[in-house]
Structure 1
Amino acid sequence: MNWTDERVERLKKLWAEGLSASQIAAQLGGVSRNAVIGKVHRLNLPGRAKAGGATTATRAPKRPAASTPRPASNFNSARISPARAVARPQGSAMLKEEMDIDAIEEVRFRPSANVVVPISRRLGLTELTERTCKWPVGDPLTDDFHFCGCESPDTSPYCTYHQRMAYQPVNERRKAANRVA
């Protein structure tokens, strides 16, 4: 099916009247609903007229979130965008509502006082055995990359210290994720 000038004009007229793509396809004949939708997009036609003559609301362009400088201290900051109008669908209408959101939520980092970090044996990949810790340290693309190499229990690939880092209970992970979010 070719889009002749008169078919395109009829499409534009029917679209402006508020007919659905399926109804337009049925009136034009020999064209599918998807073909009508594709042609409407290629023609950059505005939103259809609703019953009452108002056109549908077009989406507002996305604004970049206002960035705030990070504090140069011991704090981790979770970025949250400032107050803005949010449009959300409800029924057949879009509701706009104003939401107040804190700009920055401050999270204090407290290192544990009773943690003993084992001294790494700095083993290479070929030096690892079944009884050595296989925790990677550093960037694998650098010459300084190595594995922990401390003694590990029978059932784990990691030493006791790295086991605590690798295998955190589910509840602690959820608490940590909720603090950040």
Structure 2
Amino acid sequence: MSWTDERVEVLKKMWGEGQSASVIAKELGGVTRNAVIGKVHRLGLSNRVTSTTAKPAAKEKAKTQAKAKPAAPTTPAAPPQPAAPAPETMRVTPPAVRKIIPAGQPLPPQPSANEISPEALAKVSEVEKTAKKISLMELTEKTCKWPVGDP
């Protein structure tokens, strides 16, 4: 299967509408969900906004299913407490914003997992000063066999 211009346009249109990769794959035919996701990333379309609310069709379906099923008897809940009025000085802070890097762009430098903080190095130095250093021939099943120093 090759990505023709027409198939790419359908992919872009459906992705922009918020369709899932599975739905797009079924619509296109002859392509897997993973192939759709890969093409989306190569095209740089991965920055679409996802909403936390369900689509209108999904809401309608959920409502009709809820009406069709009889509700299970539940114990009465405590009466709701009135919410305290929010002070006018309070401000709502937006959620943390992550910078999304487009596909094909190099990632910014990351700290190495092997780097040790100066505080940790100071602790290691203190332990090394008080450690009893013995030769391999002096080791027994009761002695610590952890090496001291930087390998």
Fold agreement, TM-score > 0.5: no
Greater per-residue helix proportion:
2
**TM-score (ref. length: structure 2):** 0.44
Superposition TM-score, scaled by structure 1 size: 0.38
Higher relative contact order (CA 8 A, sep 6+): 2
Structure with the larger strand share: 1
